[in-house]
Chains A and B, each alone.
Chain A
Amino acid sequence: MKINTLGRHIREGLKNLARNGWMTFASISSVTITLLILGVFLLLALNVNHMAKTVENQVEIRVFLDITADQASASALEKKIEALPDVESVVYVPKDQGLIDLKEQMGENGQFLNGLEDENPLPDALTVKTKQPQSVSTVAEKIGSMELVDELDYGAETVNQLFTWTKMMRNVGFVFIIGLAFTAMFLIANTIKLTIVARRREIEIMKLVGATNWFIRWPFFVEGLVMGVMGAVIPVAILTTGYYYLYNNLHSSLYAQMFEILPTNPFVFQVGGILLGIGAFIGIWGSMISVRKFLRV
């Protein structure tokens, strides 16, 4: 295709968009809404996924020892646990250290624990890490049946909850987004159909003098592409700025230490790129399906 011809197709496409102003606006808006919701879902789902992974990797078993356990029996138990399959490491945490850790974890609120040093209510503990997060529960079970073990604590439930949540979001989001995408495509197809009907005579004459189908299709292709991309620009802008502020605010807050969210760069730009791509796809697809019917001789 010649560069002149491409220029002509683009001009024609834009002219048609302007001519059907309101339909164009409706189509673009529908793409915008679809992609905005899709974008929010994507950002959420990917972050929850990320959090789940982080938490999963941090999973460890806290084994609290019986108060009667002395130093020697504690190290014997340590050896015994180390010998279990799937165990990566075992660290002995005496109760004094436990208190210091707890204070650190609580940050500013740690001051409430001041003065407890002499009458430390915490038991001695062992921190066990498994080779795979999945084997936490089996290992925990085995440790639980050992002597001198008073209580066990591991974050299995948090992990499971996170995963159920991601899965549910994925399913609900998927159905919702497919529905919206089809609505957007349908609206775009309808807008293009209007311009085709308006240009029927022109297309008829184009065919009579020997225009190829692609020559006829191009302006509509441009129309669809422009509508799709314009529809994507707004949600991308909103989501990028929104996420930027959200990240900057959350990052410095308390939650950030528990749940780390993905940094703005490059994450948001990747999602933005995906949204632009989907917008372009919806637009082109919508326009091509409506042109197809009219091109049959």
Chain B
Amino acid sequence: MIEMYDVWKTYPNGTNALKGINVKINKGDFVFVVGPSGAGKSTFIKLMYREEKPTKGQIFLNSFNVSRIKERQIPAVRRSIGVIFQDFKLLPNLTVFENVAFAMEVIESNKKEIKPRVMEVLGLVKLKHKAKMLPSELSGGEQQRIALARAIVNNPGIIIADEPTGNLDPDTSWEIMKLFDEINLSGTTVVMATHNREIVNSMRRRVIAIEAGEIARDEQRGEYGYED
């Protein structure tokens, strides 16, 4: 569950990226965050995993008050979230298997649990057979599937994604969206900033539209609504 109360974000250079956001996202929701370029979507996402701190207002995420927590509590917040980006953010020198296992090693998971769990999530994204390859040997869609596997390997309750299909062709984008849908069906909350009109319009999930730092629309079975 994610809640924001009168959240403002002003960057150090004076840009008002968000201006009084109020929103409530329930457990198991699937939310598209849409809006023109520069509207504040990425900022909205960054506040959730505490990449940025709000200038004003309160953010609650699971049991954390993300706007108030101390520096040393940030890892705990991050462990309850899986984050996905447009550029995949895989480590080029590690194999597919190692990239996913890395997320478990970093939080000091039991060594015996790592291998079976990594193989399990690689099975979910249908890339078990490429476990020993390097990211550079994979297509963009495959790389994003690995990133997705890494995001879910520690069983976070929430997945947040910033334009996960931004670098992918339409067919590959759909493959990725199907995986997000499956993850959501298993009870995981998904929040996704996107410019992909076709996907938003055909999936008909909750749509939050941000324009110039404010919520312009919040519809349960919404549409993309822009012409870009």
Q: In the bound complex, what is the Cα–Cα distance between A247 and B74 (angstroms)?
A: 59
Q: A1: nearest residue on chain B (CB-CB)? A: B108
Which residue in A2, A5, A209 is a CB contact (below 8 Å) of B78? A209
- Cα distance, A204 to B90, chains bound together (Å): 11
Task: Write out the residue numbers on chain A whose beta carbons fall within 8 Å of the beta carbon of B137.
Answer: none
List A residues 175-219 near B (Cβ within 8 Å). 201-202, 204-213, 215
Q: A2-B108, A8-B105, A297-B50 are in contact. Are A211 and B75 (CB under 8 A)?
A: yes
Establish whether residues A210 and B102, one from each chain, have CB atoms under 8 Å apart when the complex forms. Answer: no
Residues of B contacting A204 with CB < 8 Å?
Answer: 89
A209 to B108 CA separation, bound complex (whole angstroms):
11
Count of residues in B whose CB is under 8 Å from the partner chain: 23
What is the 8 Å Cβ interface bit string for chain B, positions 123-159, against chain A (1 contact, 0 not)? 0000000000000000000000000001000100000
Other-chain contact of B102, A5, A205, A297 (Cβ < 8 Å): A205
- Taking a contact as CB atoms under 8 Å apart, the answer to whether B154 and A201 are in contact is no
**Min CB distance, B53 to chain A, in Å?**
9
Cα(A134)–Cα(B96), bound, Å: 78
Closest CB in chain B relative to A229 CB, distance in Å? 26
Contact B79 A208 (CB under 8 A): no
B72 touching A210 by the CB < 8 A rule? no
On whether the beta carbons of B91 and A215 are closer than 8 Å, the reply is: no
Whose C-beta in chain A lies nearest to the C-beta of B94? A202
Q: Using Cβ atoms and an 8 Å threshold, which residues of chain B touch A4? A: 111
Q: Is B83 an interface residue (CB 8 A)?
A: yes
Interface class of chain B by DSSP = helix
Does B44 sit at the interface, judged by CB under 8 A? no
* Chain B minimum-CB-distance residue to A206: B106
Residues in B82-123 with C-beta less than 8 Å from chain A:
83, 89, 91, 102-103, 105-108, 111
Across-interface contacts of B71 in A (CB, < 8 A): 213, 297
With a cutoff of 8 Å between Cβ atoms, the chain B residues found around residue A211 in the complex are: 75, 106-107
Nearest residue, chain A, Cβ from B104: A209
Residue of B nearest to A3 (CB): B111
Is the beta-carbon distance between B91 and A210 smaller than 8 angstroms? no
What's the least CB distance linking A8 to chain B, in Å? 7
Residues of A within 8 A of B76 (CB): 210
9-44 of chain B: CB within 8 A of chain A: none
- B6 contacts the other chain (Cβ, under 8 Å)? no
Chain A, interface size category, equals 10 to 19
Is B49 located at the chain interface by the 8 A CB criterion?
Answer: yes
Bound-state Cα–Cα, A208 to B75, Å: 8
Query: Chain A nearest CB: distance from B91 CB in Å?
Result: 6
Q: Once the chains bind, are A208 and B154 in contact (CB under 8 Å)?
A: no
Partner of A207, one of B78, B91, B105: B78
**Does B74 contact A297, Cβ atoms closer than 8 Å?**
yes
B105 surroundings in chain A (CB, below 8 A): 5, 8
CB <8 Å contact, B103 and A201: no
Q: Does B51 contact A (CB under 8 A)?
A: yes
Residues of B within 8 A of A297 (CB): 50-51, 71, 74
Q: Which of A5, A209, A215 contacts B103 (CB 8 A)?
A: A209
Given contacts A209-B150, A297-B50, A297-B71, contact A215 B108 (CB under 8 A): yes
**Are B72 and A213 within 8 A (Cβ)?**
yes
**Min C-beta distance of A200 to chain B, whole Å:** 11
The residue of chain A having its C-beta at the shortest distance from the C-beta of B90 within the complex is: A205
Contacts of B106 in A (CB 8 A): 206, 209-211, 215
Question: Chain B nearest CB: distance from A187 CB in Å?
Answer: 26
State whether A212 and B75 are in contact (beta carbons under 8 Å apart), knowing that A5-B108, A8-B105, A297-B50 are contacts in the complex.
Answer: yes
Q: Give A2 to B111 CA distance when docked, in angstroms.
A: 10
Contact of B83 among A202, A206, A208, A213 (CB under 8 A): A208
Q: Bound complex: CA of A297 vs CA of B70, how far in Å?
A: 12
A78 to B111 Cα, complex, angstroms: 87
Chain A residues with CB under 8 A of B103: 205, 209
Identify which of A201, A202, A209 gathers the most chain B CB atoms within 10 Å of its CB: A209
Q: List 30 A-B contacts (CB under 8 A).
A: A2-B108, A4-B111, A5-B105, A8-B105, A201-B91, A202-B91, A205-B89, A205-B102, A206-B102, A207-B75, A207-B78, A208-B78, A208-B89, A209-B79, A209-B103, A209-B106, A210-B75, A210-B78, A210-B106, A210-B154, A211-B106, A211-B107, A212-B72, A212-B75, A213-B71, A215-B106, A215-B108, A297-B50, A297-B51, A297-B74
Q: A2-B108, A207-B75, A210-B79 are known contacts; what are 10 more A-B pairs with Cβ within 8 Å?
A: A5-B105, A5-B108, A205-B102, A209-B78, A209-B103, A209-B154, A210-B78, A210-B154, A211-B106, A211-B107
Which 8 A-B residue pairings sit nearest by Cβ, starting from the closest?
Answer: A210-B79, A210-B78, A211-B106, A209-B103, A210-B75, A212-B75, A206-B106, A4-B111
User: Which residues from chain A sit less than 8 Å from chain B, CB to CB?
Assistant: 1-2, 4-5, 8, 201-202, 204-213, 215, 297
